[in-house]
Structure formats: structure tokens, C-alpha cells
Amino acid sequence: MSNKNKTSDSENHKQENGSVPGGELHQVAGGKHPALTTNQGVPLSDNQNSLRANPHGPTLLEDFALREKIMHFDHERIPERIVHARATGAHGFFELTESLKQYTTARILTEVGEKTPVFTRLSTVAGGAGSVDTPRDVRGFAVKFYTKEGNWDLVGNNIPVFFIQDAIKFPDLIHAVKMEPDRGFPQSATAHDTFWDFISLTPESMHMVMWIMSDRTIPRSLRMIEGFAVHSFRLINDAGQSTFVKFHWRPKLGLQSTVWDEAVKIAGADPDFHRRDMFDAITAGNFPEWEFAVQLFTQAQADSFPFDHLDATKLIPEELVPLKVIGRMVLDRWPNNFFAETEQVAYCPANIVPGIDFSNDPLLQGRLFSYLDTQLSRLGSANFHQIPINASKCPFANQQRDAHMQMTQPIGRVAYEPNSLSDDSPRETAAGFRSYASTETGQKSRIRAESFADHYSQARQFYLSQTVYEQAHIASALVFELSKVDHLHIRQAMVGHLRHIDEDLAGRVAAGLAFEKMPDPPSAAKPVREMAPSPALQIIGKMKNTLMGRTIGILIADGSDAAAVKNIKKAATDAGAVVKIVAPKVGGATLADGSMLAADGQLAGTPSVLFDAVAVILSEEGAKNLFTESAAVDFVRDAFGHLKAIAIDKGGQLLLKIANVGHDAGIVDAADADVFIVAAKTRQWDREKSVRTLP
């Protein structure tokens, strides 16, 4: 393990506690450990026994140590986020590589080479804080930039569009997707009646439905997801001119997803799969990295688009407005404390810096209020910005005072402005934030723009842009989800919507649901427009030919060939993969040459779903000993079913035969490590039709 990110517990303690007013921390005699104290700094001699009147007597009310400890424990939890409760967070930096000075005055986007601290939080949406990492769900992608001009929060998802066009519908969407209130389930799942009832009555959601039913919502790793700010924003230059911008994050490791059966089994094998993956990568020095890119366009260009860029259910295809890479983000430090940082971090899209401004996207406009409001509820004070993870790293000063949990000590008699009684109180500055000087006219109404009325064209474009494998996965996902819906009229309504997107897709889903006849499509507010397919919307077509960031599992047992194991491990490691040894016993196995090889995981607790490809290196005797071990049979059967490359020797071949696993180009002789490495860099997509029935 690299030492780049390792900090001792004692060092962490010093960083967080340092010294106390009046002297150093109390020390335990003869050691390096600080003395255990109360929150008032009183050293404790016994933290294991309450104060009693006698050994069998009642506990005394005067026991201040007991009361403080229990009181604090009773109040440890704060309200969890209504959405995005389950998350992984990490510190890092953003580095600008190309200036946007002609477009903006924001220093973070103009000072090339400057490294700005960031804290990034990646999350699921629907599940609670205790749910699992791998459900079919959108992933939140939120970055807090601690810039020289204040904090900038870029808060989005791993999908560039959203379910709704107007923020007033957000409570309804979330009420529909969350656990049904009369029964308290399902947890972190969309496969239930209330969600699909809402969706079936909300045509604007159809584009997002295509994305959530795609493999984008079952990612292999949080290090392998894209990020999007979803909305259009404005960049303002020093002449006051505006350019629209959409922000994108693109993973250095490329995109990769799981397959559905694999995602389900990972949830059982390791509920913390994504969080552990991120932790392991950072602590090993394999720092996750993303390119930062922008789409820049003028109002004149926006007027020519066949859609409205202010509509959050629409994206701007990369073929129409190419991405311009201007920087990178690297996550290189795990939080010292999960609650203090990952849980207490408070993002708000309203946190922007001079040179950046908002568009009139109605969903964005609602978020500008909602995020601030929810942080007040969760963190209990208007002073939540003073919590270290939320505090600006640049100086900040104003006339705001007092309130619950005030952590600073403002001085002087002046707490207002303008004033004439203080020579050093904060004042406005000409270089401060200025909103774009837009002209707005019209009549107030609750009517949406006509340009928001096309609900199917981009949904169709997305579906037709996918590879045939990804199209099959979308159809399968829809069949699975709708099969969990009890009400027939909801299933019928959804298939009706699908007919506007693609008749073949609708037919596949209808067949999977055993419909005797096709439901009629609903009336469409606007006719479906044919848009050119966008290969940029695929995953398979964009996967990188690499094993960087991937993990190879090698199954061994007593008698395994040491040379074969060594060769596979070296080839995989040289290709950038992490290699894990799996054995029937956690202690490892004795190889054929008499050496003992330690295991990274025990077979029953380390299934093949945790790896991107596997090698099975067994002696004939070792293989026979595993014939009746279901975990061994499932290890190879699942690897085959999840379309992974498998390297085998003679013993491995025997295990595959017992598991009734067939042969194809992805089953490789372990003696040819180079061929295995090539196969391991991708899924064996052609195998899929032989291992599962697709709609």
C-alpha cells in the first residue's frame, strides 16, 4: 500500500484537536495517547463504570461523565437527506488547463495551472443512508470548489437530464419514488406502483426513463461515471457579455457498468461495494480523476436548436456542440471523519462566484431555494456555513450575527451597514458579484413555454443511439420494473408511451409483459422529431481498452500451480489491474511447489461478482474438492453469466464442466496470459444471448 495518503491516528488527532486554550492536551502517563476527558476537558479515570451508591446500589444523578456521554449519544444523529442520503465523499483538487478568460471573469476558470481544493460527494438518490451502493438509481455528482472568490458548488448527476421541467413537481416525484407510505417499502428502488404511476402520467419524464433504464444507473464504480450539472448556466466576461455553458465531468478510467444480475448479487456480497472501491483506490494512491469539460454556446445558437436548452429534460448532443476540455479533478484524500465531512457537507447550486450566473431554467430556479432550505433543516442553524467542511477557504466578512451555534466571535459595536462608526467594517466592492443584466418582459402566468412540449424526440434519439446490447438491457429493465407494478393500467400506459419512442422497444416490452395486444399511445403535444443518433450517449462504444482501475480475481486451492498464478498476476498487474487471491480458506493455500500463498478473500465471502475478470488455477485434486462447494460452482457460473473473461488450467476446466459452463472466446487457457488480458478488458457481449433470455 502506498504511503501517499496514510496518516496515523495520533496525527489525525493532532490535526483535529491541536492544543487547547491554557495548555496542551492532557497526556496518559508514560505514553503517547492523550488522556480521555469530558467535553469540558476534565480527565477521566474510569469510562466503563457508572457512579453507584454501592456496588449493588442505584446510579447517582451526580455522575456528570455518564450524563454527558449518554446525552451526546442520544443526539448523534441528524435528519438524513431526503434524497442523496447514501454517499461517498473525498477531498481533492481541481486544476485548470485551459483558460476561459474571453468568456468569464471567474478566476477558477481563468488561472491556468492553479490548483483549487475540492470536496466531492457521489451518491444514490432514492435510498436512505443505510441502503446499499448498487441499486438501479441515478448517482449524484456534487463538487464544492473552495475558490479564491468564495465557494462554488457544482451540483448535478451522472445523467445529463432530469425527470421534470419545473421544480414545483419535485416533491411529487420524490414522494412517488420513495418507499410507499402505507408499507415502508421498497427501499432504494423504482420497481413499484407509485413511481411508475407518476411517470405514466408525466410525459416529460420519458427521456429520463430511457437513461435510468439504461446501464448508466448500475455503474461498475463511482470512479467510472460521468458527471453533469444538468442545467445551462451563464459565464459573464469583463465586458458583461454572457455565454451559456453546460458543465461535464468525464472519468479518466472511462465508463463501465455492471449487468443487472451482477448488480443485485453485489448488493448481497458487499453492500458497500462502491464506497469500498473508492476508499481502496485512494488509500492505494490510485487517485480517481475526471476531465472537466464545457459546452459553450450563444443565445443565437440556442435559438437554432430543435429543443429548448432551458428544459432540464433535454441535453445538447456533443455532435451539435462539442465538448471543450478545460481542466481536471483528482480525488486524493479520504475524509478523516465520515459524519463531520461527507454527512455534514452542504451543497447549494446558489453558491456561485463572480463570472458565473444562472439561466432561467425553471428547475434550476427552484433548486436555488430548495438546497439552502433543506440544509437549514438538516444542520439546524443558519450558521451551517461555519462547519469546517462548508467554510470558505478564502476570507469572508459581513454583518450577519448571532443565531444558533455561532462559532465565530464578531467584534465591535457595528453590525449593520452603511455605518460611520467603524473604519474597518466590510463594504461592497466594485469587483464583487454582479448578475447578468438580462431584460425580462411579459405577463405573469403559470404556463410553460411551448418549446418545452416535445417529450419524446430526445428519448427516441437516446434509445436509437445505443448498441444492440444496450437496447436489449433497456428493454429488459423495463420488463423487470413494470412486472413489479400491480396495476395493469399503469403497465399499459407505459407501453403506450414507449410506442412514441420506438415501436420495436414497445413491442419487446409488451411481449415481456405478456400483453395480448398493444396499448394505444397517448396523444403527443408535439410530433416526434427524428434526430441523428449520438454515439456519445453509449457506454459500450465509449469504454476504454484498459484494465486500469479494474480488479482480477484468481481462485486457487491447495496444489495450484505457483507459476501459473504468478504469470497471471504479473500480466494483470502490468496491465494496471488490482489482483486479489481467493481461496477456500481465508489463510490461503499451499501451492504445488510447497509455498504458501495468502488469500485476500475467502471463497464464500468473495464471489466473482466483485471482479472484472477471473482466473481459475486449480490442481485436479483441488478442483474435485470444490465440486460440491456451491460457492466455487457459483464463482465460475456467475463469471460466465456476467460475461467476464475466464482464464483456466486443467483443474479450472474440470470446475467449469461441473458448473455446466460452456466455451467461447472469453474462456482462455491460463498459460496464455496475454490473451487473457486482452479478453479481460471488455465484457463478452456476444455471450449474452446464450446465458439469458432478452426481450
Q: Is 56 a catalytic residue?
A: no
Q: What is d(CA 274, CA 287) in angstroms, rounded to the nearest whole number?
A: 15
Please give, one letter per residue, the 3-state secondary structure of 381-425: CCCHHHCCCCCCCCCCCCCCCCCCCCCCCCCCCCCCCCCCCCCCC
Task: From the candidates 157, 351, 390, 567, give the one annotated as an active-site residue.
Answer: 157
Q: Known catalytic residue: 497?
A: no
CA separation for the pair 647, 656 (Å, rounded): 11
CA distance to 125, 462, 482, 507, per residue, from 486 (Å): 24, 28, 8, 20
What span, in angstroms and rounded, lies between the C-alpha atoms of 231 and 352? 14
Task: Tell me the HSE value of 502 on the side-chain side, using a 13 A CA sphere.
Answer: 20
Q: Give the C-alpha separation, 306 to 136, whole Å.
A: 31
Find out whether 389 and 345 touch, Cβ atoms under 8 Å.
yes
Residue 187 C-alpha cell reads as 427501499
Distance CA 313, CA 540 (A): 23
Strands 324-333 and 289-297: antiparallel
For the record, the C-alpha cell of 377 comes out as: 433543516
What is the Cα–Cα distance from 525 to 104, expressed in whole angstroms? Answer: 38
For helices 488-501 and 457-465, give the axis angle rounded to 10 degrees.
80
Of 5, 17, 49, 84, which is the active-site residue?
A: 84
Q: Give the three-class secondary structure for 673.
A: helix
CB 586 within 8 A of CB 619: no
Residue 554 in grid coordinates? 484468481
Residues 6+ apart with CB under 8 A from 36: 43, 44, 47
Using CA atoms, how far apart are residues 557 and 618, in angstroms rounded to an integer?
Answer: 6
**Catalytic amino acids?**
84, 157
